[in-house]
Amino acid sequence: MKLTKNKILITGGATGIGFGLAERFISENNTVIICGRRASALKEAAEKLPTVITKVCDLAVEADRIELYNWVAKHHSDLNVLVNNAGIQNWMNINDNDFSEKAGAEITTNIVAPLHLTTLFCRLNSLATIINVTSGLAFVPLATVPVYCGTKAFMRSFTLSLRHSLKASGIEVIEMIPPALNTDLGGKGLHDEYPSVSDFVESVFKQMGEGKTELTFGTSTDRAAANNETIAAYFNRMNP
């Protein structure tokens, strides 16, 4: 994709990877819209990025997703990049009393929402690029976040199929595959020891500039290239 003069929607763009991408895209002379369910987080992001456009939207709610699309189609019909970034991660065990409830929330936010948004935004004649943010955990699961890993494996598979099915339309489909990064995903402090979002963003921007459609960083590079034998070795190290 071209890296400048786009109009981009980033879901979950107020914090973490989403905010890092918004900041970097804005620095490259792009117009960026971010959405999220917390008005306070969007306000804080806008204070740091004065040109960003914000939209409150709970992606777990079907009506909110439809309203988001209708709002974009009406006010930003030249939008040409959709970044499906929003996601939630629950550390849990199959024996937890609320396991099913938490699993349902993850599946809705991490799978149902990006699938629905993709079908909606493909109606825009201007759409040129879809970026799906998956995870290194799509390849090798961490047992303490079992449903999150499954949702990312689903999105990895879906992205491959989507890229193939949209070839004739000219819409480029990019998969962004982060490893664990220093964000609050899953809870504050859980990922403090991991690489910074800014390092990840700089790496994936370089890869996009080179025309790559599968963007990896750090340990996700090895995982994306893994075979069954090396996946088993990774799994055993991650899940002693």
Tell me the catalytic residues. 148
Tell me the C-alpha distance between 164 and 143, whole Å: 31
Amino acid at residue number 202: E
Q: Minimal CA–CA distance to 171: which of 116, 132, 141, 198? A: 132
- If we measure between CA atoms, which residue out of 103, 91, 202 comes closest to residue 142? 91
Q: How many residues does the chain have?
A: 240
